[in-house]
């Protein structure tokens, strides 16, 4: 019977080469902290417990990564990965297997971690390694003539000959906890960094006669860590391309898969088309036949079948029905629900409002905190004045209403079904159903009026 699996995630480092006030593990990849990606992979192993070691700006790390299944311990002051793992083990029972890994290796796969944990289940020390094209700066795997792992040496402590080795330590190890604890307690800081290296436990295991086995991953990119912003940008493109490829294989047309960013979850029906430069954040669902034009931003959106979103539109926290037309340059703010066949045109903003079937606001308009019926035509330049300086108020606009251009509907207000609001009107009282309501100043022309003229320069 397999021993319970416990996981320790090291997230205490500052990340000096990021040149940032933000802890390295909180820098974002595809819209989420680096360490969150590692936690996702870890959770697929269904561990008994997850312990995250925080240090630099620990409050921020704990706030960003906090979850019911995560416990935190703090490493203060920072004294290396071995010291961090030792602190974490104090929070764990000794009857299981412990997997220790780094929070800045975001593309590590669950399959690779499972393989390392499986080695530890047999009483051995498991190490995740990879052969890489450029091992500079990384710990090297030292093997004996029989090919057995004997030690890990860090770049700064390696000899010139050892630095030619291309098999590297990825930062993930697993061992029976009852063995790991004593090894960690025997670590010493006798190295170029003056730190307690987690990797030194390999030599201790060999000295104790415990077998060390490596799982060598063939996916070099999956074990690349992030130490600077250039590496972060490179991994961003890798992950974005993988997500785009998966969507295209499932039937989505992406005009240029190198120019799309998915910073959350994007689910697409059949025959969805996505043009260049689009950004998807949070949870986004595009039903069959949706077309998203160039340079749109969609955050936490559901878009119905056959709807077309024209370029440069920003949509957030809203639901759009089928066969709607949005944009270009439209903005939907949170709390908006649009029924089927609604048209929201260029430079129209809708906030916390509902629009019924086939209603249209095609030009330069604002609809806020409003309930708009079906087949309403909302004129250019018209707005709902929903804020009195202290509180928001709602407008109710019935079915088949026509609102002329350049109107102001002062909420709270009700416009009855079938009403027409004359252009240029400021409406502050109920507009009766089926009637024309006009509220504008009387037009006056002054025959002999002359414009002021600039004074001549002396």
Catalytic residues: 363
Give the C-alpha separation, 433 to 399, whole Å.
10
Task: Give the number of other CB atoms < 10 A from CB of residue 401.
Answer: 23
Alpha-carbon Rg of the chain, whole angstroms? Answer: 31
341 closest CA partner among 356, 363, 362, 319:
356
| DSSP letter for each residue of 272-305 | -EE-TTEEEEEEEEE-TT-EE-TT-EEEEEEE-T
How would you classify residue 66: left for phi > 0, otherwise alpha for psi between -120 and 50, otherwise beta? beta
State residue 188 phi and psi, 5-degree precision: -130, 155
154 closest CA partner among 202, 206, 101, 119:
202
136 closest CA partner among 225, 34, 35:
225
Give the C-alpha separation, 349 to 346, whole Å.
9
Torsion over CA of 130, 105, 139 and 94, rounded to 10 degrees?
A: -100
Distances (CA, A) of 62 to 53, 70, 114: 9, 9, 25
Residue 398 contacts residue 381 (beta carbons within 8 Å): no
Give the C-alpha separation, 403 to 341, whole Å.
18
Give the C-alpha separation, 333 to 316, whole Å.
5
Residue 184 contacts residue 80 (beta carbons within 8 Å): no
Q: Name the token pair of 300.
A: 């936490």
**Tokens 């090291």 -> residue:** 10
Angle (CA) 305 306 310, round 5°? 120
Give the C-alpha separation, 365 to 320, whole Å.
18
Give the C-alpha separation, 262 to 266, whole Å.
7
What is the number of residues in the chain?
458
Residue 129 contacts residue 142 (beta carbons within 8 Å): no
Question: Which residues touch 452 (CB under 8 Å, ≥6 apart)?
Answer: none
State residue 235 phi and psi, 5-degree precision: -70, -30
């Amino acid at each position: 019977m397999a021993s319970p699996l416990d996981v320790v995630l090291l997230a205490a480092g500052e990340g000096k080469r990021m040149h940032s006030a933000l802890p390295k593990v909180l820098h974002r990849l595809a819209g989420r902290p680096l360490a969150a990606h590692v936690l996702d992979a870890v959770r697929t192993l269904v561990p008994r417990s997850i312990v995250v070691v925080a240090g630099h700006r620990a409050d921020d790390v704990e706030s960003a990564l906090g979850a019911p299944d995560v416990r935190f311990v703090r490493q203060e002051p920072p004294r290396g990965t071995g010291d961090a793992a030792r602190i974490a083990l104090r929070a764990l029972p000794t009857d299981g297997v412990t997997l220790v890994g780094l929070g800045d290796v975001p593309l590590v796969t669950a399959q690779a971690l499972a393989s390392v944990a499986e080695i530890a289940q047999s009483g051995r020390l498991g190490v995740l390694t990879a052969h890489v094209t450029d091992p500079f700066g990384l710990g090297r795997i030292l093997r004996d003539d029989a090919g057995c792992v004997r030690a890990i040496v860090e770049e700064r402590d390696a000899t010139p000959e050892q630095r030619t080795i291309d098999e590297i330590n990825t930062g993930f190890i697993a061992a029976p906890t009852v063995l790991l604890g004593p090894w960690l307690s025997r670590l010493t800081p006798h190295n170029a960094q003056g730190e307690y290296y987690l990797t030194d436990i390999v030599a201790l295991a060999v000295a104790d006669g415990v077998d060390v086995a490596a799982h060598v991953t063939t996916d070099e990119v999956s074990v690349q860590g992030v130490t600077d912003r250039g590496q972060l940008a490179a991994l961003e493109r890798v992950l974005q391309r993988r997500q785009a490829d998966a969507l295209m294989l499932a039937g989505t047309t992406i005009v240029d898969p190198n120019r799309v960013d998915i910073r959350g979850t994007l689910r697409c029906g059949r025959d969805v088309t996505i043009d260049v430069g689009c950004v998807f954040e949070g949870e986004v669902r595009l039903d069959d036949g949706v077309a998203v034009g160039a340079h749109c931003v969609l955050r936490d959106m559901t878009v119905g079948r056959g709807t077309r979103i024209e370029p440069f539109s920003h949509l957030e926290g809203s639901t759009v029905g089928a066969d709607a037309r949005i944009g270009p340059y439209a903005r939907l703010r949170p709390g908006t629900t649009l029924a089927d066949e609604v048209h929201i045109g260029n430079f129209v903003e809708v906030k916390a409002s509902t629009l019924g079937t086939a209603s249209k606001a095609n030009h330069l308009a604002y609809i806020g905190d409003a309930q708009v019926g079906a087949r309403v035509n909302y004129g250019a330049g018209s707005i709902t004045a929903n804020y009195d300086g202290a509180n928001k108020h709602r407008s109710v606009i019935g079915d088949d209403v026509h609102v002329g251009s350049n109107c102001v509907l002062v909420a709270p207000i009700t416009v009855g079904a079938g009403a027409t609001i004359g252009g240029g009107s400021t409406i502050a009282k109920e507009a009766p159903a089926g009637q024309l309501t006009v509220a504008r100043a009387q037009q006056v022309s002054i025959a002999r009026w002359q414009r002021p003229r600039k004074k001549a320069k002396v």
